[in-house]
């Protein structure tokens, strides 16, 4: 069984989680600045007093003492390209039906007074006594408010849904939310910590003092601690101080925080996701672009290493800065979608984002939530869909994260055989716990709703499905039926897909699943897991193993390149050449190819031609589209200088041509998941290493004849059975001079003759280029 090869998280020792030096560092760096409210936010106070002297408090962290500042210096406001004034429109989740989503208004302990009157002209007549009474009321309210006021965003129905695991918009309830209470702006905090004895909010605003702002424990057994803290607003840094019933003292970042400090700092930041979206046209028509019978060509990328600033190569581009470079490039290349490796907050950069701590926060390495929204908006305006990698399979053991959150195994499974991942040294979610399911499904819907994401690619599904994944005999426990399937994870995945498609029927979910588990991309009602698509990992491995061979040996491995067609229509398969194939010494896509320089580039053009003419949707990792020579290095930019050379430019032009062919020829996408869309003409010619087949759409006039030559030989007057009579025009040739090929082609249409061949009534004679692919279409010329 294939193992994943993500880099394990390595910041803190997961076996004995204590407050790490990184945790205390975030409170100790008093010279670091923190963002003030976004432009749309109201001021926290009318006049914010300046802190003349930092008060230092000694906090006990395990067996160490660390000095922590009372507050950080004030910062300038964050600037965004488009100040947001309202929540994202058009994708809010609907009101609850059959115990799905609660949209009830918050419960407040008192009725909020009328807002403070605005300034008036001298000539305006006012009731001075009424104004004085109202101002006095506000003054008394401010004076009478406690350090933490009783306040709740939860209704009884919310709590019922949460306990049942059916509350799918928890991000509107838990976490930190700026609100107005008794006429005073402040922040409502809510955190799930059922095994805590005491929970307080600590931050810059209270000198990180655990006794200043203690939250209230709800009376209903939900395990939620909550309360309103006056005069605290957007931009403030905070954590939760948790005294567990186990005796542990913990400082945890907020699992529902919308912003985090940039690593290595680890605190949460009060923030929002307000944005004035300008992608309405895309959202209205998204159901067309995302349909399974439409072109779906994906450019997979790691944002931090796609491109760096030449003048400062150690610095990342921000989300909005990279938009000006990325959007035109993907548009030029013809990809229909871009897939981002995880952009959720993660402490360890070499994990590529797959070790997530802030599931609801866009990574602060690249900017603010609004800057990411701007990038997505720009992509949508250019007609490009956005796929986000999502990791519900495991999370790291960092002291400030989800692990051991309230001193107990709250989010992870308590049993090491189910709760610890041996490959990645990380922790596995407890899918049998309702509140954990609600946390994860709410997170999926959060990215689809707040960020207008068009698809979620779910990472490491195979590791979720099997109890014995990467475990030896005796290291795992069978399920209640005696099998190795993780029944709780299976039910979670089904519930996740049902929730996604019921609320967002115009998106897709894509499973990275490497085993023969049945029905991954089949509906839940028919016994499947409910994904829209599944990565075709077997095809990826078989095709790469075949193309690594010297062409003289390929005739002995012919079945490896044709084997995929025996099962390709059992799932809705996506054909991936992903990041996992170009790291850890595997070499780049180009350097997997055999032969001299010309043959290596020809083989790569041929491989991509096979992918784009094979049934299924497509995915190509960044750098592969221009034949980067070195394998991927997440610590630096792609080797864009390679495009100065004609051979690399030829690979780029080939991919552009293949994307154009895929988008414009209905036979390549209308039946890409249907056996009726493919027909072998000759799949058994091992001696010549030739593949010939037909791709079909809804209209026979659009049928395509595809011929692939896996050898460096040129075949002249090569007879192929034709799908029908008439003239056939070459519309694509990977050996074209424009692609750095040798220029062997069929410049004129070929006429199908009434000579039986390959079981067909008609056949054509063509020239087949060396290590080349040719595609013909019927023409009236």
19 vs 200, residue with greater confidence: 200
- Using the predicted structure, report yes or no on whether residue 743 has a pLDDT greater than 50: yes
Tell me what the mean pLDDT of segment 553-573 comes to: 97
> Does the pLDDT of residue 694 top 50, yes or no?
yes
Query: Other C-beta atoms within 10 Å of 147: how many?
Result: 14
Is the model's pLDDT at 106 over the cut of 80?
A: no
- Compare 18 and 201 and report the one with higher pLDDT: 201
How would residue 129 be classed by pLDDT, with cut points 50, 70 and 90?
low
Q: Are strands 420-421 and 726-733 parallel, antiparallel or unpaired?
A: unpaired
Give 34 or 212, the one with higher predicted confidence: 212
Task: Pick 721 or 78 by higher pLDDT.
Answer: 721
Average pLDDT for 450-472: 96
DSSP string, 338-394: EEESP-EE-S-GGGTT-S-SEEEEE-GGG--HHHHHHHHHHHHHTT-EEEEEE--S-
> Does the global pTM surpass 0.75?
yes
Q: Is the pLDDT of residue 406 over 60?
A: yes
705 bridge partner residues: 694, 776
| Per-residue pLDDT, 311 | 81
- Indicate whether 81 pLDDT > 70: no
Q: Is the pLDDT of residue 635 over 50?
A: yes
Model pLDDT, residue 309: 83
Give 68: exposed, middle or buried? Use CB within 10 Å, 0-12, 13-18, 19+: buried
Would you say 185 and 177 are in contact if contact means Cβ atoms under 8 Å apart? no
- Give the separation between CA 556 and CA 552, rounded to whole angstroms: 9
Helices (H) and strands (E) in the chain, counts: 15, 33
Q: Retrieve residue 655's tokens.
A: 């991919």
Query: 352 Cβ partners below 8 Å, 6+ apart?
Result: 6, 7, 302, 341, 342, 579, 634
Q: What is the pLDDT of residue 751?
A: 96
pLDDT at 82: 40
Per-residue confidence (pLDDT) for residue 313, from 0 to 100: 82
Which residue's entry shows tokens 């409210």? 37
Residue 328: count of CB within 10 angstroms of its CB: 12
Query: Is the model's pLDDT at 126 over the cut of 70?
Result: no
Q: Which residues pair with 760 in a beta bridge?
A: 757
CB 521, CB 512: distance < 8 Å: no
Instruction: Give the mean pLDDT of 85-90.
Output: 35
Q: What is the mean pLDDT of the chain?
A: 85
pLDDT at 304 over 90: yes
- Does position 121 have pLDDT exceeding 80, yes or no? no
DSSP for 275-315 reads -----HHHHHHHHHHT-TTS--EEEEE-HHHH--BTTBTTS
Distance CA 185, CA 44 (A): 6
- The rounded distance, in Å, linking the Cα atoms of 241 and 245 is 13
Choice among 35, 459, 542, 730 that is catalytic: 459
pLDDT grade for 93, boundaries at 50, 70 and 90: very low
Please identify which residue in the block is written with the tokens 């300034």. 119
Give me the residue label for tokens 């610095």: 315
pLDDT digits (tens, 9 = 90+) for 262-301: 999 999 999 999 999 999 999 999 999 999 999 999 999 9
Q: Which pLDDT score, from 0 to 100, does residue 80 have?
A: 39
Given a cut of 70, whether residue 665 has pLDDT beyond it is yes
Three-class secondary structure of residue 462 per DSSP? helix
In angstroms, the first-to-last Cα distance of the chain is 52
The candidate with the shortest Cα–Cα distance to 257, out of 401, 459, 94, 53, is: 401
Higher-pLDDT residue of 128, 307:
307
Model pLDDT, residue 181: 95
Q: What is the mean pLDDT of residues 313-318?
A: 90
Q: What is the chain's alpha carbon radius of gyration, rounded to the nearest angstrom?
A: 29
Strand partners, 217: 225
pLDDT band (50, 70, 90) for residue 680: very high
Is the model more confident about 136 or about 362?
362
Q: What is the mean pLDDT of residues 137-155?
A: 77
How much is the average pLDDT of 226-239?
Answer: 97
pLDDT classification of 130: cutoffs 50, 70, 90:
low
For the question of residue 248 being annotated catalytic, the response is no
Cα distance between residue 211 and residue 201, in whole Å: 9
pLDDT higher than threshold 70 for residue 72: no
Q: Report the pLDDT averaged over residues 170-184.
A: 96
Model confidence at 582, in pLDDT bands (50, 70, 90)?
Answer: very high
In angstroms, how far is CA 620 from the centroid of its own chain?
16
Q: Which of 11, 377, 512, 581 is catalytic?
A: 512
The pLDDT value given to residue 344? 98
Instruction: Give the per-residue pLDDT at 780.
Output: 83
Higher pLDDT, 66 or 539: 539
CB 672 within 8 A of CB 684: no
Cβ-based burial of 714 (10 A; exposed 0-12, middle 13-18, buried ≥19): middle
Residue 426, token pair as written in the block: 């990380």
Q: Kindly provide the residue ranges of all beta strands, DSSP E only, lying in 416-530, ordered along the sequence.
A: 420-421, 426-427, 455-458, 508-511
Check residues 104 and 458 and name the one with the higher pLDDT: 458
pLDDT tier, 143 (very low <50, low <70, confident <90, very high otherwise): low
Q: What is the pLDDT of residue 655?
A: 98
Round to whole Å and give the CA distance between 559 and 405. Answer: 51
In sequence order, which residues have a C-beta less than 8 Å from that of residue 372 and are 6 or more positions away? 319, 343, 362, 366, 451
- Least Cα distance to 728 among 708, 693, 752 occurs for 752
- Residue pair 195/246 in contact (Cβ under 8 Å)? The answer is yes
Name, in order, each residue with C-beta under 8 angstroms of 781's C-beta and a sequence gap of 6 or more: 727, 729, 749
Reported residue count of the chain is 781
Q: For residue range 622-633, list pLDDT tens digits in order.
A: 999 999 999 999
Structure tokens at 594: 């055999």
Q: Is 459 one of the catalytic residues?
A: yes
Q: Confirm if 588 and 624 have CB atoms less than 8 A apart.
A: yes
Least trusted range by pLDDT, from 49-58, 491-500, 762-771 = 49-58
3-state secondary structure 570-612: CCCEEEEECHHHHCCCCCCCHHHCCCCHHHHHHHHHHHHHHHH
Distance, CA of 761 to CA of 724 (rounded, Å): 8
SS3 letters across 142-160: HHHCCCCECEECCCHHHHH
């Amino acid at each position: 069984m294939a193992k994943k090869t993500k880099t394990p998280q390595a910041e803190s020792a997961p076996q004995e989680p204590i407050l790490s030096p990184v945790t205390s560092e975030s409170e100790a760096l008093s010279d670091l600045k923190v963002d003030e409210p976004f432009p749309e936010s109201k001021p926290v106070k009318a006049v914010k007093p300046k802190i003349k002297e930092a008060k230092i408090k000694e906090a006990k962290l395990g067996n160490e003492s660390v000095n922590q500042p009372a507050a950080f210096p004030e910062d300038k406001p964050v600037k965004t390209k488009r100040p947001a004034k309202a929540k994202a429109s058009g994708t809010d989740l609907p009101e609850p039906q059959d115990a799905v989503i609660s949209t009830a208004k918050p419960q407040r302990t008192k009725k909020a007074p009328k807002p403070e009157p605005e300034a008036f002209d001298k000539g305006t007549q006012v009731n001075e006594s009424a104004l004085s009474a109202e101002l006095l009321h506000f003054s008394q309210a401010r004076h009478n408010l406690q350090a933490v006021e009783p306040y709740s965003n939860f209704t009884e129905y919310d709590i019922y849904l949460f306990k049942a695991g059916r509350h799918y918009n928890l991000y509107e309830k838990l976490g930190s939310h700026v609100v107005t209470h008794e006429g005073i702006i402040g922040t409502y905090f809510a955190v799930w910590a059922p095994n805590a004895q005491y929970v307080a909010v600590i931050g810059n605003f209270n000198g990180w003092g655990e006794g200043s702002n203690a939250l209230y424990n709800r009376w209903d057994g939900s395990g939620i601690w909550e309360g309103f803290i006056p005069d605290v607003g957007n931009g403030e840094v905070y954590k939760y101080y948790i005294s567990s019933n186990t005796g542990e003292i913990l400082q945890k970042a907020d699992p529902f925080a919308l912003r985090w400090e940039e690593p290595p700092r680890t605190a949460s930041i009060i923030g929002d996701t307000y944005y004035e979206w300008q992608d309405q046209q895309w959202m209205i028509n998204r159901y067309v672009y995302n349909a399974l019978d439409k072109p779906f060509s994906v450019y997979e990328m790691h944002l931090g290493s796609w491109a760096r600033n030449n003048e400062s190569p150690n610095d990342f581009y921000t989300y909005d800065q990279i938009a000006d470079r990325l959007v035109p490039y993907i548009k030029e290349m013809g990809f229909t979608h871009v897939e981002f490796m995880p952009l959720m907050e993660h402490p360890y950069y070499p994990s590529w984002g797959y070790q997530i701590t802030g599931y609801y926060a866009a990574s602060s390495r690249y900017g603010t939530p609004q800057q990411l929204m701007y990038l997505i908006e720009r992509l949508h305006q250019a007609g490009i869909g956005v796929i986000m990698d999502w990791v519900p399979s495991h999370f790291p053991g960092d002291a400030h994260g989800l692990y051991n959150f309230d001193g107990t195994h709250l989010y992870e499974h308590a049993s090491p055989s189910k709760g610890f991942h041996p490959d990645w040294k990380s922790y596995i979610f407890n899918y049998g716990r309702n509140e954990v399911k609600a946390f994860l499904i709410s997170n999926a819907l959060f990215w689809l709703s707040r960020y207008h994401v068009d698809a979620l690619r779910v990472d490491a599904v195979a590791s979720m499905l099997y109890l014995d994944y990467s475990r030896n005999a005796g290291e795992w426990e069978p399920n209640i039926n005696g099998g190795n399937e993780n029944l709780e994870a299976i039910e979670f995945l089904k519930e996740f897909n049902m929730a996604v498609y019921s609320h967002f029927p115009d998106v897709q979910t894509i499973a990275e699943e490497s085993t023969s588990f049945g029905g991954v991309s089949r509906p839940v009602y028919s016994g499947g897991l409910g994904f829209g698509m599944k990565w075709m990992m077997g095809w990826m491995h078989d095709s790469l193993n075949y193309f690594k061979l010297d062409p003289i040996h390929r005739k002995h491995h012919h079945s490896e390149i044709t084997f995929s067609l025996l099962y390709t229509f059992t799932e809705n398969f996506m054909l991936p050449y992903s990041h996992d194939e170009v790291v850890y010494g595997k070499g780049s896509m180009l350097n997997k190819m055999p032969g001299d320089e010309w043959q290596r580039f020809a083989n790569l053009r041929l491989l991509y031609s096979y992918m784009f003419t094979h049934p299924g949707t497509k995915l190509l990792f960044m750098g592969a589209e221009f034949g980067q020579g070195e394998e991927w290095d997440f610590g630096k930019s792609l080797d864009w200088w390679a495009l100065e050379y004609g051979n690399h430019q030829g690979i780029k032009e080939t991919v552009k041509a293949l994307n154009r062919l895929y988008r414009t020829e209905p036979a390549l996408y209308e039946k890409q998941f249907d056996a009726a869309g493919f027909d072998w003409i000759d799949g058994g010619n091992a001696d010549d290493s030739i593949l010939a087949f037909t791709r079909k759409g809804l209209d026979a006039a659009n049928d395509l004849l595809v011929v692939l030559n896996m050898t460096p030989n040129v075949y002249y007057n090569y007879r192929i059975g034709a799908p029908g009579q008439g003239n056939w025009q070459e519309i694509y040739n990977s050996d074209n001079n424009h692609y750095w090929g040798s220029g062997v082609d069929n410049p004129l249409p070929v006429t199908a003759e009434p000579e039986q061949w390959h079981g067909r009534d008609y056949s054509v004679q063509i020239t087949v280029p060396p290590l080349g692919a040719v595609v013909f279409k019927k023409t009236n010329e």
